Homo-oligomer: A and B are copies of this chain.
Amino acid sequence: MATVIKNVLIVYAHQDSLSFNAALKNAAVKTLESQGYKVTVIDLYAQHFEPRATRSDITGELSDAKKFSYMQEVGTAFKEDRLSHDIKIEMEKLKEADLVIFQFPLYWFSMPAILKGWVDRVFANGFAFNYAKAQIYDTGLMSGKKAMLSLTTGGPETLYTNKGLNGDMNIILWPMQYGILRFVGFDVLKAQVSYAPAMAADTKRKSMLDNWTTRLKDIAKEKPLEFIPIENFDY
C-alpha cells in the first residue's frame, strides 16, 4: 500500500544559513508547506547534536556492567524506555514522519560525521530494526515510510560517472541508500544530487534549486528505487 505523505522530516547538516545546502532546505520547506505538508527540520549543527555513540546514551544501569556492547545496551534501554532524552526526541520526530529527507554536503564520499552520528544513535536496535526478529530491509521497522538523500558535492558531475575520476555516484550512494535507508525498511526515493554549486554560475544554481522545487511538488507520486526482495536471499 502506498504511503500517504502528510508529515515531512528534513534532517539538515550544514553549518551556515547562507549555504547552498540551506537554500535547498529552505526551498524544500517552502514548497512542501505550500503543498499542505507539515514540515519539521532537524538542524543538526544548530542543535549541537551529539554524534558519538557512548555509554551516556543509556540512562540507569547497564545490563552488562563488565563489558559494554553499544548495540545490546541500546536494545535493552529502548525496550525499557531508558534511552537518553536527546535520542528519544529524535525518535519522536522520526515516528511522525511519512517522508524523511537528508540534506547534506558530501564529505569524503559519505555523510558529515554529525549526520552519521544521528543515524548511528537514532536508528537504534529495536526502534528502527530488530535483527533478532528479522525486522530488516523489507520488514524493517521504518517500512511504510519513504526516505531520500539530497546532497551537494564539491566535484562536478563528470567526475562521478563510472569512467570518471571519483567513480560512479551510485556506488558512493549504495552504503547510505541500501545499508542505512533500505536496511531499516524505508522506501527509498532517488537521490537528488546537486553537483558542484560552488563552481557553478548563478543561473545554474538557480536551475538546480528550481529542479528540486519542481520535483518536490510531485514527490508523493514518485515510485521508489527497486531492490531485490529479501526473500530471494538465504540468510
Contact = CB atoms under 8 A, between A and B. Distances in A.
Interface of A: 15-16, 18-19, 45, 48-49, 51-55, 66-71, 107-114, 116-117, 119-120, 123, 131, 137, 154, 158-159, 164-167, 171-172, 174-176, 178-180, 183, 198, 230, 233-235
- 6 residue pairs, one from A and one from B, having the closest CB atoms: A109-B179, A113-B117, A109-B175, A51-B113, A113-B116, A16-B68
Chain B CB within 10 A, most for which of A112, A116, A230: A116
Contacts of A137: 165
A114 B16 contact: no
A166 B177 CA distance: 12
B120 A15 contact: no
A167 B232 CA distance: 13
5 contacts: A18-B67, A19-B68, A51-B113, A109-B180, A131-B154
Contacts of A108: 116, 119-120, 123, 175, 179-180, 183
Contacts of A164: 233, 235
A171 B171 CA distance: 7
Nearest to A230: B165
Contacts of A109: 174-176, 178-180
Given A117-B51, A175-B110, A165 B15 contact: no
* A110, A131, A167, most chain B CB atoms within 10 A: A110
Contacts of A67: 16, 18-19
Contacts of A120: 107-108, 112-113
Contacts of A16: 67-69
A156 to B, nearest CB: 9
